[in-house]
A = this chain, B = another copy of it.
Amino acid sequence: MKTIPGLSLVNEDLALVESKMREAPHENIEPLATALDVILSSGGKRLRPALALLTSHFYHPPGDKVISLAAAVEMLHTATLVHDDLIDNALLRRGNPTLNAVWSPGATILTGDFLFAWAANLAAQTENVRVMNIFAQTLMVICSGELRQLFRRSWREQTREDYDRRIYAKTASLFAAATESAAVLVGALKPEVQALRDYGQQLGMAFQIVDDVLDFVGSPKEMGKPVGSDMRQGIVTLPTLHYLEQHPDDELLAQIFEGRQADNPIIEAAVTRIRQAGAVETAMDEARAYVKRAQAALTSFPANGIRQVMLDLADFVVQRRT
């Protein structure tokens, strides 16, 4: 687990979240127990549960139900990754072999389903109808976003609206669900719930834009995947959108997105071209604007240490290199 500055505040809570996730009842199915261990040990930044925990701290330290919620959110995220990696035929995630790299498609699908089920159980442990509703609705948003992406229009017809909707579905919806649900659980008032949801959502939009930018500028070693992965998969992200606005007739990109070329040197040339055109910086400006909106959502909250961590966390999202 990588450390994010300022998050030491919730380190102990995060350890409880890890334990909670590991309570998954594998029922002595040995390969499942092993897979769960591998999946959970190679976990990422745990940003989503951290958002739920920080939200709780505004009111009181996280109780059992917030811990369950935080675990549910991260487990839902993990479940979607298991299926995504299989669908994308991704063999590495965070430098480790994916489940589909070592298991049959069937075993991978069922393990993903099992993780969805475990996420639903963790959400149910909150014993809060509204939270369970948010949770179920977020799952719908994520799944329909992925289907929309799969059945997307041709690369030339992709609009900024398509992009915004996609990154909301893919990332911001779950960030928003994490903060909103935690706010509901601790009994926050309606405008506070809305403000905290807003913080999560804007932060999630920024996070995903940066993720997409890192596919152009990140270090392949640190990222655990080569540059231009999205382009290789035919996915138009924000830097590409900005570049295409300026260079609608670029022949190199046409070759790539129409599936005529996908060799590494071609992809790298396109990545360089987009970077040199300043499209990455324009995208980062937008990410920073989302961060400002996330921070603005917290204006009415007390200017205490918790708020400072949440403001810093937003800054970190656009400064990160992985």
Contact = CB atoms under 8 A, between A and B. Distances in A.
Interface of A: 25-27, 29-32, 80, 83, 86-87, 105-107, 109-114, 116-118, 120-121, 123-124, 127-129, 132-133, 135-137, 139-140, 142-144, 146-148, 150-151
A107 B150 contact: yes
Contacts of A29: 144, 147-148, 151
A108 B121 CA distance: 24
Nearest to A111: B147
B83 A151 contact: no
Contact of A109 (B25, B86, B127, B139): B86
Contacts of A106: 87, 150
Contacts of A139: 116-117, 120-121
A121 B140 contact: yes
A158 to B, nearest CB: 15
B129 A26 contact: no
22 contacts: A26-B144, A29-B144, A29-B147, A31-B147, A32-B144, A83-B113, A87-B109, A87-B110, A114-B140, A114-B143, A116-B116, A117-B139, A117-B143, A120-B120, A120-B139, A121-B133, A121-B137, A121-B140, A123-B136, A124-B129, A129-B129, A132-B132
Copies in the complex: 2
A85 to B, nearest CB: 11
Nearest to A128: B129
Contacts of A151: 29-32, 107
Given A151-B31, A151-B32, A25 B140 contact: yes
A114 B117 CA distance: 13
A186 B171 CA distance: 38
Contact of A144 (B27, B140, B143, B147): B27
A149 to B, nearest CB: 9
A128 to B, nearest CB: 7
A139 B119 CA distance: 11
A148 B151 CA distance: 33
A123 B143 CA distance: 17
A136 B124 contact: yes
